[in-house]
Amino acid sequence: MSCFFSLIIGTVLGLTQKRIKRLLAYSTISHVGFILLALIVHTIDSYQAYLFYIIQYILTNLNAFLILIAIGFSLYLYYTNVSEYNNLPEKNNSPIQLISQLKGYFSINPILALCLVITMFSFVGLPPLVGFFGKQMVLTTALDNNKIILVLIGVLTSVVGAVYYLTVIKTIYFDKSDYEKTYIYLEVSLSNIYSITLSILNLAIVSFILIPNELLNICNLLSLISYSINL
């Protein structure tokens, strides 16, 4: 029952959000539903799916927040006359709060915009990104154990939940930016460590299909240990 409510509540609340971090927070509730779906089956395969889903979601979610921080940092080179953006609470500590602040960001920084789009597509579960394999493993395991209704709900909420992720993507690529270039800050750049971290996370999301065995073997080993302990 908790799996059912997590999938439904997370998806519905996510559809109403205008704030990017709240959207990610409510979507997490929906993703918890997938984790619970794997746990209620209680087989070795379900433990593997559970561990893999958690690992890939942590990596993808971490990537999303790091990108949002980087986007906020990059916008120090720009100014806007939109009072709603300028009067945001805690603006200095959290520059990016609204989805609308990402309008036309692709024209400002195509690389960071592409990274965020890849992350959103992974949340959706679009192949061949790592998020697709996470959802596939959970749904396949549940279907093999006759959890048909929960699988259908999982698929339905994934389709509906794609709407708010695609809204972010549309905002980034197709809306006109509210920001103008300024030259107050002569040089703003990410540190090498930060850039390398983002590169590694995005490569992991994109290229998992090329090197799946290592992570799957780790998840399989951990699932065997967990299953043995719970017997």
Tell me the pLDDT tens digit for each residue of 163-206: 999 999 999 999 998 888 776 655 667 888 999 999 999 998 99
Whether the per-residue pLDDT at 231 is higher than 60: the answer is: no
pLDDT, residue 14, reads 87
Question: What is the C-alpha separation between 33 and 139, in angstroms, rounded?
Answer: 11
Cα–Cα separations (whole angstroms), residue 85 to 63, 88, 201? 24, 6, 29
Those residues whose C-beta lies under 8 Å from the C-beta of residue 52, and which sit 6 or more positions away, are: 133, 134, 137, 215, 216, 219
For residue 187, which phi and psi values (nearest 5 degrees)? Answer: -145, 120
The answer on pLDDT for 88 being more than 60 is yes
Q: Is the model's pLDDT at 228 over the cut of 70?
A: no
Tell whether the torsion through CA atoms of 39, 41, 47 and 48 is positive or negative. negative
Q: Where are the domains positioned within the chain?
A: 2-230
pTM of this structure: 0.89
Tokens of 157: 């909420």
Residue 224 has pLDDT above 70, yes or no: no
Which token pair is 121?
């597509």
- Tell me how crowded residue 230 is: count the other CB atoms within 10 A of its CB: 8
* Contact of 134 with 205, CB cutoff 8 Å: no
Identify the pLDDT of residue 227: 60
Range 124-138 average pLDDT: 92
